[in-house]
Chains A and B, each alone.
Chain A
Amino acid sequence: MAETNGHSKTNGQSYVGTRTIRPDGVDKVTGRARFGADFNLAGQLIGRVLRSPHPHARIVSIDTSKAEALPGVKAVVTRDDFPDQSSEFIPAGEMMMNYKDVVRNVMAREKALYEGHAVAAVAATSVAIARRALKLIEVKYEVLPHVIDVVEAMRPGAPLLHDDLFTVGVEPKPEKPSNIAKRFEIKQGDVEAGFKKADIIVEREFKTAPVHQGYIEPHAALATASEDGSAEVWTTTQGHFIVRAHCARLLGLDIGKVRVTATEIGGGFGGKTVVYLEPLAIALSKKAKRPVKMVMSREEVFKASGPTSGATVRVKMGATKDGKFVAGAAELKYQAGAFQGSPVQPGVMCAYAPYDIENVHVIGYDVVSNRPKVAAYRAPGAPISEYAVESVVDEIAKKLRLDPIELRMMNAAREGTKAAYGPKFGPIGLEETLNSIKKTEHWNTPLRKWQGRGVASGFWFNIGGETCASLTVNEDGTVSLVAGTPDIGGLRASLAAVAADELGVPYDKVRPIIGDTGSLGFNFLTGGSRSAFSGSMAIVEAAKQIKADLCARACKLWEAKPDQVEWKDGAVRPLGALAEKAKPMTVADFAKVAGKTGGPIGGVGRINAQGAGPSFGTHLVDLEVDPETGRVTILRYTVAQDAGRALHPAYVEGQFQGGAVQGIGWALNEEYIYGEDGKLQNAGFLDYRMPVASDVPMIDAILVEVGNPKHPYGVRGVGETPIVPPLGAIANAMENATGIRFTELPMSPPKVLKALKEKGAARA
């Protein structure tokens, strides 16, 4: 059990660490919960987007007159309705962004840069009229040559997406523009000297396909703009404060005049940290003077919202004959989509993070091509680079005839290890996850022919960030909890448990909600595995204010001095002689006399949470390959991950399981398939094959708890790390099942069958 850093239950009943009933559960199972598309306003119009049919084309002209003349059409917007933005890089979300690009991504300006790029939008009184109106908009394109593949895009002479894009991070500065936005590198020690010490060197190139976050709920937004310059938005998002900031900036509104409510969210995984529909809906509403509702189709989600990067990665590792890693090099080329800003930087920093290696050199390239702009996806960039490294680690184990877990254990990062990206780690739990996996019955179960077992580890940084949350004690002693980060993975249940423990009230007397942007101070978004970590710190702070206030009120009621009272076990208690005449008072007791002792009781935690503890995990997978079809079946899967301390173990296990399933899809089936014409050929769930429940076994989750000393309860973020190891673990299992090292994802049936045939192992 982790350290609780002094915070645990007070009145004999602790909710933190237990599997409490989710406060949002009843509404979700009864269908009462309101997701993005469930919100409606009287008189609302339907918004639809006209999208480019070309992957790369100059927009010569846009004539909307016929559409505007169609009865029932109330507004049409194009590039002319969005003021241009200056080139400024801004940290917003899990990746850097540039408003010059954001304004061009929400609505194409000079050029359409990918198939599906928004070119115009209409608001009409019905869906049918809106669709008809889109057909009446005349866009004159000058079609340009396109480039889809990252390596092709890097070649001299490749079709150029932006004539003002000069590679940053190279000396001398390039004189000509290219599709390479940035070169980024980290260095530690002397990698060449390290390779000279190696008895064995393994070098391989890997390719991964771009994959979509695959949230079940499409993007949806409802907006109403007023003549007084204010606007209100309901949207499915991971960060309504960020939506507010982006919309205000793109449309020239005051932040304080934009109110955004985050609806229930049907998955985000990083993909709902940016804006697509929201600024369009506000702009249309402003023009039409009526509310406008916009919902993407699944095809639009695939074609026009961000997947994560596809990549080409070259890894070279050296080890001594007894298994000590002495050098690690890598070159990463990540697709950014149509605008710069792939997650190559974290990919570079994470590649060797799980290991204690003296000499490391990793270079990354951020490359634009005619695809939708990538968005964050669970541990952005890390699964790609760590998949390549974990594959090579396994190959080293094989060549040296070492147990793959023992090899990882021998080289594992521990407390005090200097991470490949610089600083030393504090207390971390990689070794514990490896030990946990090794001790499982799963690890020792025999396998049959065509079955394989694979193991891999993974790392993600985790973050904190700006967080504001409030607690209010109601008249009857119940507690209202307002958080400002959308609840995707159990935030409300986790925060309610913390509030109940801190204030000594029953869990079911705490009602948590997600407040809109007008109800709290700024909150950074739900991402970086931060919401439960940071939110619980803010709740502890809010509860501290309430406890201090109640102690002060007790002093006044009891005519006592501050040192004669204390908060203990869920009540303000009189000390010493005072205990003879005064009785302890609980939150409920104070609620009854709140009005007579100073008014409403409440606290607001306003913090910039620091001290996020890094998270490590190790995954173990068994699979079976069908030699007739190349189909791969996952037979068994175990996840062990360091959670610091699980506020709500069931939700933490759910994160482990969800990450593993998404990683299974990434490894085995998911990919964006483009034709020669630069158009996406599988923009739907029938052709874009994501795992469904029947594709995966029950995933066993092992909670490792190495407490984070910087958090009052020892919490670490848990949401992102679990998607990192599956790619490597499955590739390693495939090698053990078939004797073939697969270096290209996804390992889909056609590719597996082809490889088996080439090896002469396929069964006719």
Chain B
Amino acid sequence: MARVTLVGNLVQIAGGVAEYDLPATSVKQLFELLTELHPMLARHLEEGVAVAIDGQIYQDALLQPIESDSEVFLLPQIAGGRGQVLNYDIFLPGASATRQGMS
């Protein structure tokens, strides 16, 4: 399982838990698993985070593979974006329901 570490304020949003062992095989799957664990993370994943996989930082790369022994960090996005909010349900089906009432 990939060793996943949240960095910065994501830790607080995830209830103070920074480290996880998750069976994610892609960034998309990683986001899905994290959203299941902590629905409040959904909006932050939507707004954009960078994902470092084995030392290499990826941005806006939902399909990037993650190996079972990968070391993964979720960081604030350094830069990027198209000036539009992502269509959330495309990559995290059903998660828009969890957005209601978020701060």
Contact = CB atoms under 8 A, between A and B. Distances in A.
**A and B: interacting chains:** yes
Interface of A: 88-96, 168-169, 171, 173, 182-187, 241-242, 245-246, 249, 345-346, 348-349, 376, 421-426, 461, 463-466, 522, 524, 527-528, 530, 608, 610-612, 710
Contact of A466 (B7, B55, B60): B60
A90 B79 contact: no
A463 B76 contact: no
A245 B12 CA distance: 32
Nearest to A424: B55
B81 A710 contact: no
Given A89-B47, A91-B48, A421-B7, A426 B83 contact: no
A182 B82 CA distance: 23
Nearest to B13: A169
B83 A249 contact: yes
A94 B84 contact: no
Nearest to B60: A608
A728 B81 CA distance: 32
Given A91-B80, A466-B82, 10 more contacts: A90-B83, A93-B81, A184-B76, A349-B76, A423-B55, A463-B80, A528-B80, A610-B56, A610-B57, A710-B56
Interface string B55-69: 111111100100000
Contacts of B83: 90, 92, 242, 245-246, 249
A267 B5 CA distance: 39
A314 to B, nearest CB: 19
A524 B81 contact: yes
B96 interface: no
A527 B71 contact: no
B37 interface: no
Contacts of B11: 187
A422 B52 contact: yes
29 contacts: A89-B47, A90-B83, A90-B84, A91-B77, A94-B78, A94-B79, A96-B48, A169-B12, A183-B9, A184-B76, A249-B84, A345-B76, A346-B78, A348-B8, A349-B76, A422-B73, A422-B75, A423-B55, A423-B71, A423-B75, A424-B54, A424-B55, A426-B56, A461-B78, A466-B80, A530-B79, A610-B56, A610-B59, A610-B61
Nearest to B73: A422
Contacts of A184: 8-9, 76
Contacts of A464: 59
Nearest to A416: B55
A187 to B, nearest CB: 8
Contacts of A94: 78-79
Nearest to A528: B79
B87 interface: no
A462 to B, nearest CB: 8
Given A186-B7, A422-B73, A423-B52, A91 B57 contact: no
Given A171-B12, A184-B9, A421-B75, A611 B56 contact: yes
A346 B64 CA distance: 24
Contacts of A241: 82
Nearest to B47: A89
A612 B8 contact: no
A173 B103 contact: yes
Contacts of B59: 463-465, 610
A425 B55 contact: yes
A422 B79 contact: no
Contacts of B56: 423, 426, 610-611, 710
B90 interface: no
A93 B80 CA distance: 5
A424 B53 CA distance: 9
A92 B81 contact: yes
Contact of A90 (B8, B55, B58, B85): B85
Nearest to B58: A610
A423 B81 contact: no
Nearest to A462: B78
Contacts of A611: 56
A213 to B, nearest CB: 16
A171 to B, nearest CB: 7
A246 B82 CA distance: 9
Given A91-B47, A91-B48, A186-B7, A424 B78 contact: no
Contacts of B54: 423-424
A225 to B, nearest CB: 19
Nearest to A427: B55
A345 B47 CA distance: 15
Given A184-B9, A610-B64, A461 B57 contact: yes
Contact of B7 (A93, A422, A612): A422
Q: Which of A92, A173, A246, A522 has the most CB of B within 10 A?
A: A92
Nearest to A465: B80
B82 A522 contact: yes
A242 B103 CA distance: 27
A186 B82 contact: no
Nearest to A710: B56
A424 B47 contact: no
A246 B77 CA distance: 20
A88 B85 contact: yes
Interface string B25-59: 00000000000000000000001100010111111
Q: Which of B11, B12, B52, B81 has the most CB of A within 10 A?
A: B81
A422 B5 contact: yes
Q: Which of A91, A183, A466, A610 has the most CB of B within 10 A?
A: A91
Contacts of A91: 47-48, 77, 79-81
Contacts of B77: 91, 96
B61 A524 contact: no
Contacts of A421: 7, 75
A162 to B, nearest CB: 16
B50 to A, nearest CB: 9
A710 B58 CA distance: 12
B82 A92 contact: yes
Contact of B9 (A95, A168, A465, A612): A168
A91 B52 CA distance: 18
B22 to A, nearest CB: 16
Contacts of B55: 423-426
A94 B81 CA distance: 9
A612 B73 CA distance: 16
A466 B79 CA distance: 11
Contact of A169 (B7, B9, B58, B82): B9
A424 B60 contact: no
Please provide the 9 A-B residue pairs with the shortest distance between their CB atoms, ordered closest to farther: A245-B83, A91-B81, A423-B52, A91-B48, A422-B73, A94-B79, A424-B55, A528-B79, A92-B83
A95 B77 CA distance: 9
B77 to A, nearest CB: 5
Contacts of B80: 91, 463, 465-466, 524, 528
B45 to A, nearest CB: 12
